[in-house]
Amino acid sequence: MNKTFLQKLDITPKKWYLIDADGKILGRLASSVVNILTGKNKTLYSPNLDMGDNVIIINSRKINTTGNKEDQKRYYNHSGRPGGLKIESLSKLRTRIPNRIIEKAVKGMLPKGRLGRQLFTHLKVYADSHHCHDAQQPEIINL
């Protein structure tokens, strides 16, 4: 008789990691962050549970991209009304809201649904090197 069971996991407190995005490539950074957020870097990974840790990203304004993405990559936003489509390039979004570049890249790689929305709340992105999470004592990661 085959029965599937889920081992009761020890609920350990989530770790906090600090990543400096200065000079990093956008896609490579985002995929590494998603692995930490989902908990794929742990031995007790389960795809239907929130096993990941919290991630703080600083210096999002200084992130790099390869090729001609600075001018050719487009971000679309639609209000839902007729004629409500707004298109913005990566360079314009970097000057206006630099955090959104990393947030959209990470959110697109997370699972869709309730779990993905919950995991996305564990990501904190800041444009400069200042952040307000010193009390959590984040561990610095070099990717």
78-134 confidence digits (pLDDT tens): 999 999 999 999 999 999 999 999 999 999 999 999 999 999 999 999 999 999 999
Please indicate, yes or no, if residue 58 is contained in any of the structural domains.
yes
- Structural domain total, the chain: 1
Residue 53 lies in a domain: yes
pLDDT value for 7: 62
Residue 35 lies in a domain: yes
Mean pLDDT value across residues 25-39: 97
**What pLDDT, on a 0 to 100 scale, did the predictor assign at position 35?**
97
Residue 75 within a domain: no
Average pLDDT score over residue span 20-48: 94
Read off the pLDDT of residues 33-45 as tens digits, 9 standing for 90 and up. Answer: 999 999 999 888 8
In a domain, 90, yes or no: no
What percent of the chain has a predicted confidence (pLDDT) above 70?
94
Q: Is residue 133 part of a domain?
A: yes
Mean predicted lDDT score pLDDT of the chain:
93
pTM of the predicted protein model = 0.90
Does residue 2 have a pLDDT over 80?
no
Domain limits for position 26: 16-65+97-141
| Of 9 and 12, the one with more pLDDT | 12
For residue 81, is it within any domain?
no
Distances (CA, A) of 126 to 78, 87, 103: 25, 23, 10
Does residue 74 carry a pLDDT above 80?
A: yes
Q: What are the CB-based long-range contacts (under 8 Å, 24+) for 71-77? A: 75/100, 75/104
In the sheet that 139-141 helps form, which strands lie side by side, from edge to edge?
123-125, 54-58, 16-20, 139-141
Residue 6 lies in a domain: no
> How are beta strands 85-89 and 74-78 bridged, if at all?
antiparallel
What pLDDT does 10 receive? Answer: 62
Task: Give the C-alpha separation, 110 to 29, whole Å.
Answer: 13
CATH number of the domain that 28 lies in? Answer: 3.90.1180.10
